[in-house]
Amino acid sequence: MLAGPPVLMALWVIFSFVIPAFAVQLNSIVIAGFPLGFYMAAQGSLIVFVVQLFIFAKQQDKIDREFGVAEDD
Amino acid sequence: MATQTTAATDAFYKQLGRMYGTYTGGFIAFIVLLAILEQMGVPNKILGYFFVFFTLAVYAIIGVATRTAQISEYYVAGRRVPALYNGMATGADWMSAASFVGMAGTLFLLGYDGLAWVLGWTGGFVLVSILVGPYLRKFGAYTVPDFLSFRYGGNFARFLGVIVLVCCSFTYVTAQIYGTGLIASRFLGMQFELAVFAGLVGILLCAMLGGMRAVTWTQIAQYIVLIVAYLTPIVILSTQHFGIPIPELTYGKAIAEITAREQQLVKDGLAVLCTQQACPAGTLRPHIQPFMNYTPLNFFGIIFCMMVGTASLPHILMRYFTTPSVREARQSVAWSLLFIFLLYFSAPAYAAFSKLEVYTNIIGANIDAMKPWIFQWGELGLIQICGKNAATLQTAIDACKAIAGHSGVLRFQDFVINTDVIVLSTPEIAGLPYVISGLVAAGGLAAALSTADGLLLAIANALSHDIYYKMLDPSAPTIRRLTVARVLLFFVAVLSAALAATKPSDILAMVGWAFSLAMAGNFPAIVLGIWWKRATTTGAICGIIAGWGICLFYLVVSRYFPQAGVTYFGMTSLLNPETGQALINVAQVMADPKWLADFPASAANPLANRVGWFDLNNINCGLLGMPLGFLVIIVVSLMGKEPSREMQALIDEIRKPRGRTVLEEKT
């Protein structure tokens, strides 16, 4: 139940809106030339979106099977 | 039986893998062959023709080979496109000429603020997966209006759905055909209008005979071309500069150098920094500094509108109708985003490498030392030096001499580059062989054509399936339905090509508008239709009209009738994000008889797109429309009687993957 829709929506809000809102502060941290605020909006959030979608597809399928509403393979 | 189907499916997947594997290998061999031809002295123009016509021919062959006379094949590719391949097709469907050619340029120009588009055009798939896509797949529609009509019982909701669909898809498809014409005319030296119609033939060959089925298999081929074309130049560039072939890792160094260089330019008096006291056009905005080009409201507004728009655009949603199961629809959204991600997380690298080149080798250099590639683009009016199109070295020198006190060293404000040039010129800037430039052109074409295919199909399907079959002639036989679909496709395509050939000034801006319009019109009705059993027909109809109406009104007034907006609707000037002052002096413009007579407002009108309510950019009109849509649907629904028990049972059914689709189409 780690990646149910409410958790995913919360992650979506955090990585789309909350983190970019602190871009100015995060930019003072620099890793390999990347200011962190810039990096998060350019790559970090995107990676989170991709990974969470794969996890969600897996989790939801598991839940569907548990409740007997999944499609036959 | 079950094992037989599984075995057949496995064989089908294996065959697909072999086919597209061979295709990719063949494409790479083709690039190598052209590279050898270039070394042997074949002229550039011939290489360009080879690239464009070979790829177009491949798409056309796939289109013809997968033609179909079956309804479900034509509308939803027989619902047997595997998740991974549907992901690739969606990627190509999604990434248009604006993504391929324009995105990196936007990031070059806006720096951090441009990332609003990168975030907005990726994060929306989270909403597609959680809220919309798999449920529409379970429902079993052929088109998005199909769902609205069924859920909100009747043809009025269907009709509204078709209007929203056509409105947001038509301008979008025109922009793609325009992009096709632009790329073909630049790289092949064809006349623009001719290039537009050449692109049209390519689109029609794919989409007309085979509908969704042909478009799907073509889009996969186009995705492979576009991603190879996009990544090749920057991988080479990254290896040249930093020794590591992963540009997404190395461009951090470029960003650090850009920041250092920016400070140096300001110190040397070659650039004026944009500050809170004064920030006019032509001042330098640091690359990593947020909220210098958009206010926070508009920055987050763009992110939100593009994301929600993603989950509302019919040509994207209908791609998830084609998977074999609900499970695969969900997986397919994840694959789609992965394939889209590959391009979007590379775009900032293009921007950084180009900006570093411009800041080190162009600004601060003597005008005599300009490299020849600048004048090739200057000739096309895409690079300006000292306020004049830099067609030749002499025009540039003369233009700068005309500026009082100009020392002959290029300053920041002297150099203006069109954003479309960034990706297309990167191979030349890096001094790569012409074959790479040709490859990039082929990729840009693939991006424009694949999106145009998907959009045209969405429009033609809505007209043929929803309007003709469902509303006008429900007893039409299969042959006639397909004929009508093809004829309509042809006419919509020709119409949008004719519009693109007139080079309308607003066409690229309209791509952003399409997202807001789709969001305001579709999102509340679709989401509440799936997630709130209490939503009623009257509620949905009022909600679509109110939400979509206010968004369209805001767009049209602030763009075309800003004088009326100021006089009658209380619109005021948007604000400069850095200084917080009005962008334009509205009273002064309104008093000028020249602009008073400009009605509807032309693109040059200083008021156009620069007035509004609450300092809200009109791209973000969905921020007005969507909440209003939700509110109206909820309030009106609660005032009426709740939907029938059968309908509520069907909505429950949509949420369970198991079982038959809710809507069964006769084929």
DSSP letter for each residue of A30-41: EETTEEHHHHII
Which pLDDT tens digit goes with each residue over B180-236? 888 887 777 788 888 888 888 878 877 778 889 999 999 999 999 999 999 999 999
Q: What mean pLDDT value characterizes chain B?
A: 89
User: How far off is chain B from A53, nearest CA to CA, in Å?
Assistant: 5
- The pLDDT score that the predictor gives to residue B87 is 96
Which pLDDT tens digit goes with each residue over B409-460? 889 988 998 888 888 888 887 788 889 988 998 999 899 999 999 999 999 8
Which pLDDT tens digit goes with each residue over A36-69? 999 999 999 999 999 999 999 999 988 888 888 8
Taking the Cβ of residue B126 and every Cβ of chain A, the question of whether any pair is shorter than 8 Å is answered with yes
| B 317-336 → A contacts, CB under 8 A | 325-327, 330-331, 333-334
* Residue that terminates a domain, selected from B403, B429, B455: B429
Please check whether residue B560 is in contact with residue B600, taking contact to mean a CB–CB distance below 8 angstroms.
Answer: yes
Banded pLDDT at B311 (limits 50, 70, 90): very high
Banded pLDDT at B322 (limits 50, 70, 90): very high
CA distance A17 to B180: 34
Q: In this model, does residue B667 exceed pLDDT 60?
A: no
CB atoms within 10 A of CB B27: 20
The single residue listed with the structure tokens 């005309």 is B402
Please check whether residue B472 is in contact with residue B223, taking contact to mean a CB–CB distance below 8 angstroms.
Answer: no
Sign of the C-alpha dihedral computed for residues B76, A69, B82 and B232 taken in this order: positive
pLDDT above 70 coverage of chain B, percent = 98
Please check whether residue B257 is in contact with residue A30, taking contact to mean a CB–CB distance below 8 angstroms.
Answer: no
- Measured between its terminal Cα atoms, the distance across chain B in Å is 23
Average confidence (pLDDT) over B369-390:
85
Please check whether residue B426 is in contact with residue B233, taking contact to mean a CB–CB distance below 8 angstroms.
Answer: yes
| A 13-52 → B contacts, CB under 8 A | 15-17, 20-21, 23-24, 27, 30-35, 37-39, 41-43, 45-47, 49-50, 52
Looking at B472-516, which runs of residues are DSSP E strands? Answer: none
User: How far off is chain B from A17, nearest CA to CA, in Å?
Assistant: 7
Q: In three state form, how does the secondary structure of B176-232 look?
A: HHHHHHHHHHHHHCCCHHHHHHHHHHHHHHHHHHHHHHHHHHHHHHHHHHHHHHHHH
Q: Which two tokens stand for residue B616?
A: 């809200």
Sign of the C-alpha dihedral computed for residues B87, B520, B510 and B493 taken in this order: positive
Average confidence (pLDDT) over B386-411:
87
Q: In this model, does residue B3 exceed pLDDT 70?
A: no
Banded pLDDT at B402 (limits 50, 70, 90): confident
Q: How many domains does chain A have?
A: 1
The SS3 assignment for B384 reads: strand
Which pLDDT tens digit goes with each residue over B473-494? 888 888 888 888 888 888 888 9
Which residues of chain A lie closer than 8 angstroms to B338, CB-CB?
A: 50, 54
Q: In this model, does residue B666 exceed pLDDT 70?
A: no
Q: In three state form, how does the secondary structure of B388-413 look?
A: EECCCHHHHHHHHHCCCCCCCECCHH
CA distance B457 to B461: 6
Contact B331 A71 (CB under 8 A): no
Q: In this model, does residue B384 exceed pLDDT 60?
A: yes
Determine, yes or no, domain membership for B380. yes
Please check whether residue B332 is in contact with residue B216, taking contact to mean a CB–CB distance below 8 angstroms.
Answer: no
Banded pLDDT at B45 (limits 50, 70, 90): confident
The single residue listed with the structure tokens 């067609």 is B391
Banded pLDDT at B665 (limits 50, 70, 90): low
Please check whether residue B206 is in contact with residue B63, taking contact to mean a CB–CB distance below 8 angstroms.
Answer: yes
Please check whether residue B546 is in contact with residue B629, taking contact to mean a CB–CB distance below 8 angstroms.
Answer: yes
B3-17, B156-170, B550-564, range with the lowest pLDDT: B3-17
Which residues of chain A lie closer than 8 angstroms to B113, CB-CB?
A: none
Contact A23 B290 (CB under 8 A): yes
Contact B252 A42 (CB under 8 A): no
CA distance B468 to B326: 29
Which residues of chain A lie closer than 8 angstroms to B4, CB-CB?
A: none
Find residue B383's DSSP bridge partners. Answer: B417
For B609, counting Cβ atoms within 10 Å of its Cβ (0-12 exposed, 13-18 middle, 19+ buried), the class is buried
CA distance B184 to B27: 20
The SS3 assignment for B575 reads: strand
Helices and strands per DSSP (H, E), number in chain A:
5, 2
Please check whether residue B616 is in contact with residue B297, taking contact to mean a CB–CB distance below 8 angstroms.
Answer: yes
The top-scoring range by mean pLDDT among B29-43, B175-189, B602-616 is: B29-43
CA distance A2 to A9: 13
φ/ψ of B643, rounded to 5, equals -60, 160
Which residues of chain A lie closer than 8 angstroms to B289, CB-CB?
A: 24, 27
Q: Which residue of A has its CA nearest to B5?
A: A73
Determine, yes or no, domain membership for A12. yes
Mutate to test the interface with B, among A50, A58, A60, A69 (most CBs of B within 10 A): A50
- The pLDDT score that the predictor gives to residue A39 is 95
Q: In this model, does residue B335 exceed pLDDT 90?
A: yes
User: How far off is chain B from A1, nearest CA to CA, in Å?
Assistant: 15
CA distances in angstroms from B621 to B36, B175, B537, listed in the order given = 51, 20, 25
Domain that holds residue B399: 354-429
Selection from B76, B122, B128, B171 nearest residue B526 by Cα: B128
CA distances in angstroms from B291 to B294, B298, B305, B444, B645, listed in the order given = 5, 9, 17, 30, 51
pTM beyond 0.90: yes
- The pLDDT score that the predictor gives to residue B1 is 39
Which residues of chain B lie closer than 8 angstroms to A72, CB-CB?
A: 2, 658
- The pLDDT score that the predictor gives to residue B532 is 94
- The pLDDT score that the predictor gives to residue B36 is 94
CB atoms within 10 A of CB B652: 9
Q: Which two tokens stand for residue A48?
A: 């989170």
The single residue listed with the structure tokens 């295709």 is B23
Average confidence (pLDDT) over B643-647:
90
Average confidence (pLDDT) over B620-643:
95
Banded pLDDT at B12 (limits 50, 70, 90): confident
Selection from B638, B632, B634, B639 nearest residue B547 by Cα: B632
Q: Looking at this predicted complex, what is its ipTM? A: 0.95
Average confidence (pLDDT) over B59-77:
88
Determine, yes or no, domain membership for A73. no
Which candidate from A27, A56, A72 shows the least CB-CB separation from B129?
A56
Q: Which residue of A has its CA nearest to B655?
A: A69
CA distance B103 to B416: 17
Q: In this model, does residue B2 exceed pLDDT 50?
A: no
User: How far off is chain B from A47, nearest CA to CA, in Å?
Assistant: 8
Taking the CA atoms of chain A, what radius of gyration do you get in angstroms? 16
Please check whether residue B510 is in contact with residue B175, taking contact to mean a CB–CB distance below 8 angstroms.
Answer: yes
The single residue listed with the structure tokens 């997968």 is B66
The single residue listed with the structure tokens 């025109």 is B174
Q: In this model, does residue B503 exceed pLDDT 90?
A: no
* Residue that terminates a domain, selected from B408, B429, B450: B429
Determine, yes or no, domain membership for B189. no
How far does Cα B468 stand from its chain's mean position?
Answer: 29
Q: In this model, does residue B34 exceed pLDDT 80?
A: yes
Average confidence (pLDDT) over B372-384:
85
Which pLDDT tens digit goes with each residue over B547-602? 999 999 999 999 889 988 999 999 999 998 888 888 888 888 888 888 888 878 88
User: How far off is chain B from A29, nearest CA to CA, in Å?
Assistant: 12
Taking the Cβ of residue A4 and every Cβ of chain B, the question of whether any pair is shorter than 8 Å is answered with no
Which pLDDT tens digit goes with each residue over B115-153? 999 999 999 999 999 999 999 999 988 999 999 999 998
How far does Cα B296 stand from its chain's mean position?
Answer: 23
Determine, yes or no, domain membership for A72. no
Please check whether residue B197 is in contact with residue B60, taking contact to mean a CB–CB distance below 8 angstroms.
Answer: no
* Residue that terminates a domain, selected from B404, B429, B454: B429
φ/ψ of B592, rounded to 5, equals -80, 115
CA distance B437 to B229: 9
Distant-in-sequence, close-in-space partners of B348: CB < 8 Å, separation ≥ 6: A42, A43, B104, B107, B115, B118, B251
Which residues of chain A lie closer than 8 angstroms to B303, CB-CB?
A: 16-17, 20
B38-42, B193-197, B611-615, range with the lowest pLDDT: B193-197
The SS3 assignment for B661 reads: coil
Selection from B383, B457, B488 nearest residue B212 by Cα: B457
State the helix-helix crossing angle for B155-188 and B44-65, rounded to 10 degrees. 150
- The pLDDT score that the predictor gives to residue B182 is 81
Q: Which two tokens stand for residue B173?
A: 């498809």
Q: How many domains does chain B have?
A: 2
CA distance B112 to B294: 10
Contact B119 A45 (CB under 8 A): yes
Domain that holds residue A26: 5-66
Q: Which two tokens stand for residue B356?
A: 């570093």
Selection from A40, A68, A18, A46 nearest residue B124 by Cα: A46
Please check whether residue B206 is in contact with residue B421, taking contact to mean a CB–CB distance below 8 angstroms.
Answer: no
Determine, yes or no, domain membership for B140. no
Average confidence (pLDDT) over B222-251:
92
Q: In this model, does residue A1 exceed pLDDT 80?
A: no
Taking the Cβ of residue B639 and every Cβ of chain A, the question of whether any pair is shorter than 8 Å is answered with no
Q: In this model, does residue B245 exceed pLDDT 60?
A: yes
